Amino acid sequence: MLLLYYFVAVILPSCIAQISNGNDPPVQARITDQLEQKNDTKELDIIHHQKSDRQFEYSFNQQFRNETHTDENPFKCILCGKDFAVRRNLLRHRKIHANEKKLFKCDICSKTYSRRYDMNVHKRKHTGEKSYKCNACGKEFSDLRYLNQHNKTHLLEKPFKCDLCGRDFALRSHLKEHSLRVHANEKLFKCDICSKTYSRRYDMDVHKRIHTGEKPYKCNVCGKEFSDLRYLKQHNKTHLLEKPFKCDLCGRDFALRSHLKEHSLR
């Protein structure tokens, strides 16, 4: 019965009559007390949530302040020496130096650099200083970047393979150096149609397309087809608005130097 009056009190409080049950307080008074108690609880919940939100906001702001106001500044700008606590602030700061001229000058040969680090590395060529030593073989380097690159040569993984002799290399630059030094005059790849030989497999494959007529590379502008991707890239320049090569005799402009040369001979 009390639940019924409670429901009515919420919906239609003006319709509740003063009902008394002996010595008990009126039902309306009891319902009002319960409603006030419930409202007090809601207000406490709201205050609690507001307090929690403020605590969260304080915690977030405090964490940000701790991050940006720490005494440790491990990120140093190599151009001006300014220190930063957060890496993103250093990256943002570097944009200031993006358009600066070469401010750092070698006091030995007067060569200029935009970064102090590069100038210091350069000066080691004059002094012969090599501060970075390989722990594996003892080889010394003037620049940490060169040491890091050298360390890759001691790795078990050697992903760059020579197509001519099958030898593996840890660095692409070492493979290129090997090819020029060892296989420069070798022509091990032979066309099985005309017996013409090549020092690179790629060149032989391109050559064989002369026999087969295959032209797998097509210009998206004019539809012209080519047997070699290099020829397509060169052809694409003819569709550019810029034509930097001018004939001194007739003034005609060309996009490619080879077209100007062909025009002059014709």
Sketch out the chain's domains with CATH numbers: 82-143 (3.30.160.60), 187-265 (3.30.160.60)
Residue 105 half-sphere exposure toward CB, CA atoms < 13 A = 5
Helix axes 27-68, 2-11, angle to 10 degrees: 60
Token digits of residue 45: 């919940």
Average pLDDT over residues 225-236: 87
At 230, which amino acid appears?
Answer: R
Least confident stretch, 6-15, 129-138, 147-156, 238-247: 6-15
Any bridge partners for residue 83, and if so which?
76
Alpha carbon dihedral 82, 83, 86, 91, in 10-degree steps, equals 30
Any bridge partners for residue 198, and if so which?
189
Which residue from 231, 253, 252 is spatially nearest to 242, judged by alpha carbons? 253
Q: Rg of the chain over CA atoms, in angstroms? A: 40
pTM > 0.85: no
> Quick one: pLDDT at residue 225?
92
Q: Is the pLDDT of residue 149 over 80?
A: yes
Dist. CA 197–CA 190, nearest whole Å: 4
pLDDT band at 213 (very low <50, low <70, confident <90, very high): very high
- Residues 116-138 have pLDDT tens digits of 888 888 888 888 888 888 887 88
Question: Of the spans 25-34, 46-55, 56-65, 190-199, which averages the highest pLDDT?
Answer: 190-199
pLDDT band at 211 (very low <50, low <70, confident <90, very high): very high
